[in-house]
Amino acid sequence: MSSPLPVIAAAVAALGFGVAYAESTTAPALTEDECRAIWNTAAGRAELSADGAKPYIDNFESVDTNRDRKVSNAEFRAGCKAGLVHKLHRVE
């Protein structure tokens, strides 16, 4: 009997969840102070665009949870807690 995993993975990918999950990387969660400092540097009072997020977020779609192509302060803070935001751009 074959594994149902390929079928499940295809269904998840078709719904748009697979790409963000497969490509997301997590780091240790940032403290609230670290997160606030990065937000103030990256966005300040505005929402954060994909280009503005590049130094701090490896997978923009994983943090942009409402899919409006910008990261709000609330989404950014949630990304910090989830380990999806980091201090410096990582080179892999």
pLDDT of residue 27: 73
Domain count, the chain: 1
Decide if 42 is inside a domain. yes
Q: How distant is the alpha carbon of residue 11 from its chain centre?
A: 21
Decide if 89 is inside a domain. no
Phi first, then psi, for residue 70 (nearest 5°) are -150, 150
pLDDT digits (tens, 9 = 90+) for 8-66: 444 444 444 443 333 445 678 899 999 999 999 999 889 999 999 999 999 999 999 99
Decide if 55 is inside a domain. yes
Phi first, then psi, for residue 85 (nearest 5°) are -115, 140
Distance CA 70, CA 52 (A): 10
Q: Kindly tell me if the per-residue pLDDT of 75 is higher than 90.
A: yes
Q: What's the CA angle centered on 41, arms 35 and 43, to 5 degrees? A: 90
> What range defines the domain where residue 63 resides?
26-81
Q: Kindly tell me if the per-residue pLDDT of 78 is higher than 70.
A: yes
Decide if 72 is inside a domain. yes
Decide if 17 is inside a domain. no
The answer to whether residues 42 and 53 touch, using CB atoms and an 8 Å cutoff, is yes
Distance CA 60, CA 67 (A): 10
Decide if 49 is inside a domain. yes
Decide if 13 is inside a domain. no
Stretch 55-79: mean pLDDT, rounded?
96
